[in-house]
Amino acid sequence: MRRLNLAAGVGAIALLAGACNVTAAQAASPLDDLIAPKAGNSACFTRVYDADHLHNNPKQTTTAMVVWLTYDKAYGDPAILALGLGIGISRKGDSLPLFAQGGCAWDERANRDTSDRRMIEEFKKEAGGGCMMSARPDVFDVLSAEEGGYLILDRGKDSDTLVVYLEDYLTMVKQADRAKQLDITFGAADRVFLLRRAAAKDCDFVERAMTR
* pLDDT value for 212: 67
Cα 3–chain centre separation: 18
Nearby residues of 28 by Cβ (< 8 Å), 6 or more positions away: none
**In the chain, which residues have pLDDT < 70?**
1-27, 74, 135-146, 212
Task: Report the C-alpha gap between 186 and 133 in whole angstroms.
Answer: 15
Q: Assess contact for 200 and 86: CB atoms under 8 A.
A: no
Residue 26's pLDDT is: 53
Residue type, 89: I
pLDDT in tens, 122-149: 999 999 999 999 866 554 444 444 578 9
* Predicted pLDDT at 5: 39
pLDDT of 101: 92
**Percent of residues, the chain, with pLDDT higher than 70:** 80
pLDDT of residue 19: 40
Q: Is the dihedral of CA 147, 148, 154, 160 positive or negative?
A: negative
Cα gap 170→134, rounded to integer Å? 9
Determine the pLDDT at residue 2: 28
**H or E segment at 69?**
strand 62-75
What pLDDT, on a 0 to 100 scale, did the predictor assign at position 145?
46
CA distance 68 to 70: 7
Cis amide prior to 78 (ω within 30 degrees) = yes
CA distance 73 to 58: 42
CA dist 173 and 13 (Å) reads 17
